[in-house]
């Protein structure tokens, strides 16, 4: 059975239940149960109409749960109304679910969890594994999130930007487990970009595809990080790059630039270079200037300093870096890199060691320690 | 089965035999060390003895409640002397002897010159749940 297909039906089924009057939290539970039953039943007895099957089973689950809750008179009334057969699924039903799950009243962690379950159709266990927390903790996080949005009207238009931020988090911060969260984020963003006419949704999709294309080349066989300049470009996924570039070009042509399009443009310039030496750093600096104008984010300025160092030489990069707060994450790593390019290996080695000390994860720490070790070994010879 | 915590210290443990900071190793020595640690954890997973392993950042803060309406006191007067835990591994093993054996193996991870670091690790038993059978026949 194709689990991805099954999960892709989730938001549409959930939206139909909500349209019929089920409250969001109960409908979401019912859809989860229907999905689990599908996993059990479909291999032996595949339905002719998968979505219709899910709607029927989920609706009955919802009715059973509601009938059991006899004290709730309002719901009892609802049960008596026999719903009309579900209308053809409207695209904006799915869109409304995205808005609801990314509602600004939710914390980012809650919005991520709710999106993965209600829109993505993942089980609580899969989400818990992906974020390295106990299943009971994730179950609580999801049920609190559902309570938080229970009063939100389903037909209110939402802000696409909040949805994009949630999907970006899913792409960027998935850790482990049997679900590939980066691929899941791409699937959900693809679905969103098809449902909404928004250049930034396309920009985010392009950004994800361009980064995903480099994934195999980003780690060596021993698990260590491989920096962009040293990656085997033959291992980049050219089909994903071509798709990302195509989506980005169509988005840029609409002349409504946003931060995801600008980030995707930088990723595309890297993807476009046959070798690291042939990278068009001058254009990359220009895109960082655009990004700074759009976001005024200090992390963007830090990355810009690296690009300036490549375009105009390490001294220029160090000058750009000097204007920035040294407490910024990865500041020491950038300074180390620029000093190394400038030929000051002693300072670079010291800064690499300092950067390793501050590294936010083990892979980066090991990488930075290796850089310090490489320079120290070279200096001793 | 009994659970044990294997604690690795940045600071506070006695100096290891092969005491050279990692950035003074060669890159190959670092790779060999990382490989050894990964293999160790993978082997414990295979043998059904691995529970959890986490690394901690070197920077931390001490916090204390200092009364209603006052900000919590952070980073107390002992910032430079505090014991600094670098990370831990939790194992679930049949015996104390097995826990000792594994801790010894971890301490033998290669360092500078490819020689074992002989790092001091702290081995702490978990306080277990009370057993189901309380009227033990050994005690009559």
What is the structure's pLDDT at B140?
Answer: 46
Q: What is the mean pLDDT of chain A?
A: 90
Q: Does A377 touch chain B (CB under 8 A)?
A: yes
Residue A168 has pLDDT above 80, yes or no: yes
- Distance CA(B45)–CA(A227), nearest Å, equals 30
Q: Same structural domain for residues A173 and A226?
A: no
User: CATH no. for residue A98?
Assistant: 1.10.10
What is the structure's pLDDT at A245?
Answer: 98
* Closest by CA position to A28, among listed A135, A136, A102, A115: A115
pLDDT band at A89 (very low <50, low <70, confident <90, very high): very low
Residue A248 lies in a domain: yes
Taking an 8 Å cut-off on Cβ atoms, the answer to whether A370 and B27 are in contact is yes
- Distance CA(A305)–CA(B87), nearest Å, equals 34
- Distance CA(A314)–CA(A328), nearest Å, equals 19
Q: Same structural domain for residues A104 and A78?
A: no
- Distance CA(A223)–CA(A96), nearest Å, equals 40
Taking an 8 Å cut-off on Cβ atoms, the answer to whether B30 and A349 are in contact is no
Q: Same structural domain for residues A249 and A302?
A: no
Q: Same structural domain for residues A205 and A262?
A: yes
Residue A320 lies in a domain: yes
Query: Where is the domain boundary, A49, A73, A88?
Result: A88
Q: Does A353 touch chain B (CB under 8 A)?
A: yes
- In this predicted model, what pLDDT tens digit does every residue of B24-78 receive, in sequence order? 999 899 999 999 999 999 999 999 999 999 999 887 888 888 889 888 877 666 6
Residue A226 lies in a domain: yes
Residue in chain A closest to B24 (alpha carbons) equals A373
Residues in B closer than 8 angstroms to A333, CB to CB, are none
Nearest to A373 among B27, B35, B57 (CB): B27
Q: Same structural domain for residues A18 and A80?
A: yes
Residue A80 lies in a domain: yes
Query: Where is the domain boundary, A217, A250, A279?
Result: A279
Taking an 8 Å cut-off on Cβ atoms, the answer to whether B22 and A349 are in contact is no
Residue A79 has pLDDT above 70, yes or no: no
Mutate to test the interface with B, among A346, A347, A350, A370 (most CBs of B within 10 A): A370
In this prediction the pTM is: 0.86
Minimum mean pLDDT range among A127-131, A239-243, A300-304: A127-131
CATH code assigned to B2-128: 3.30.70.1060
Chain pair A-B, CB pairs under 8 angstroms: 43
Taking an 8 Å cut-off on Cβ atoms, the answer to whether A223 and B34 are in contact is yes
What is the structure's pLDDT at A41?
Answer: 93
Residue B116 has pLDDT above 50, yes or no: yes
Residue A314 has pLDDT above 70, yes or no: yes
DSSP B113: G
Query: Where is the domain boundary, A253, A279, A305?
Result: A279
Can you list the alpha helix ranges (DSSP code H) found in chain B?
Answer: 27-46, 96-107
Q: Same structural domain for residues A312 and A343?
A: yes
**Spatial contact of B122 and B7, defined as CB atoms under 8 Å apart:** yes
Q: Which of residues 185-244 of A touch B (CB under 8 A)?
A: 222-224
What is the structure's pLDDT at A312?
Answer: 97
Provide the residue range defining the domain that includes A127.
90-178
- In this predicted model, what pLDDT tens digit does every residue of A254-305 receive, in sequence order? 999 999 999 999 999 999 999 999 999 999 999 999 999 999 899 999 999 9
End-to-end Cα spacing for chain B: 24
Q: Same structural domain for residues A241 and A274?
A: yes
Residue A186 lies in a domain: no
Q: Same structural domain for residues A63 and A112?
A: no
User: CATH no. for residue A302?
Assistant: 1.25.40
Give the Cα-Cα-Cα angle A180, A269, A365 (nearest 5 degrees).
55
Q: Same structural domain for residues A261 and A308?
A: no
Q: Same structural domain for residues A213 and A259?
A: yes
Residues in B closer than 8 angstroms to A332, CB to CB, are none
How far is the alpha carbon of B25 from chain A, nearest alpha carbon, in Å?
6
């Amino acid at each position: 059975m194709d689990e991805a297909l099954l999960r892709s039906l989730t938001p549409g089924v959930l939206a139909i239940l909500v349209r019929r009057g089920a409250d969001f939290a109960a409908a979401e539970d019912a859809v989860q149960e229907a999905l689990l039953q599908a996993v059990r039943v479909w291999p032996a007895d595949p339905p002719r109409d998968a979505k219709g099957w899910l709607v029927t089973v989920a609706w009955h689950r919802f009715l059973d749960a509601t009938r059991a809750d006899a004290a709730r008179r309002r719901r009892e009334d609802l049960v008596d109304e026999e719903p009309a057969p579900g209308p053809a699924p409207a695209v904006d039903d799915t869109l409304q679910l995205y808005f609801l799950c990314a509602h600004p009243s939710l914390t980012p962690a809650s919005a991520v969890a709710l999106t993965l379950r209600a829109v993505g159709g993942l089980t609580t266990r899969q989400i818990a594994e992906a974020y390295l927390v106990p299943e009971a903790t994730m179950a609580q996080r999801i049920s609190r999130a559902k309570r938080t949005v229970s009063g939100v009207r389903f037909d209110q238009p939402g802000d696409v930007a909040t949805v994009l931020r949630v999907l970006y988090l899913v792409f960027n911060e998935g850790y482990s487990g049997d679900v590939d969260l980066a691929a899941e984020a791409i699937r959900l963003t693809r679905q969103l970009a098809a449902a909404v006419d928004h250049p930034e949704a396309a920009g985010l999709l392009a950004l994800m595809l361009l980064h995903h294309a480099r994934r195999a080349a980003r780690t060596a066989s021993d698990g260590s990080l491989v920096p962009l300049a040293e990656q085997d470009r033959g291992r980049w996924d050219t089909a994903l790059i071509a798709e990302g570039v195509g989506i980005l070009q169509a988005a840029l042509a609409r002349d409504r630039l946003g931060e995801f399009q600008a980030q995707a443009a930088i990723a595309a310039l890297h993807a476009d270079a046959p070798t690291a030496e042939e990278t068009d750093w001058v254009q990359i600096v220009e895109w960082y200037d655009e990004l700074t104008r759009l976001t005024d984010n200090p992390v963007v300025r830090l990355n810009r300093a690296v690009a300036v160092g490549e375009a105009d030489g390490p001294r220029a990069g160090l000058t750009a870096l000097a204007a920035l707060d040294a407490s910024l994450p990865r500041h020491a790593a950038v300074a180390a890199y620029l000093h190394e390019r400038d030929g000051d290996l002693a300072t670079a080695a010291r800064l690499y060691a300092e950067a390793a000390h501050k590294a936010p994860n083990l892979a980066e720490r090991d990488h930075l320690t290796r850089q310090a070790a490489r320079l120290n070994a070279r200096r001793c010879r | 089965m009994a659970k044990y915590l294997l604690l690795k210290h940045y600071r506070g443990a006695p100096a290891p035999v092969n005491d050279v900071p990692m950035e003074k190793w060669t890159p190959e020595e670092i790779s060999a060390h990382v490989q050894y640690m990964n293999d160790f954890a993978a082997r414990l997973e295979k043998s059904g003895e691995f529970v959890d392993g986490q690394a901690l950042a070197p920077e931390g803060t001490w916090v204390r409640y200092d009364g209603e309406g006052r900000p919590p006191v952070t980073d107390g007067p002992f910032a430079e002397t505090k014991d600094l835990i670098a990370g831990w591994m939790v194992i679930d093993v049949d015996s104390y002897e097995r826990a000792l054996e594994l801790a010894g193996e971890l301490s033998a991870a290669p360092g500078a010159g490819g020689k074992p670091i002989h790092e001091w690790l702290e081995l702490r038993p978990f306080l277990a749940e009370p057993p189901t059978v309380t009227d033990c026949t050994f005690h009559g």
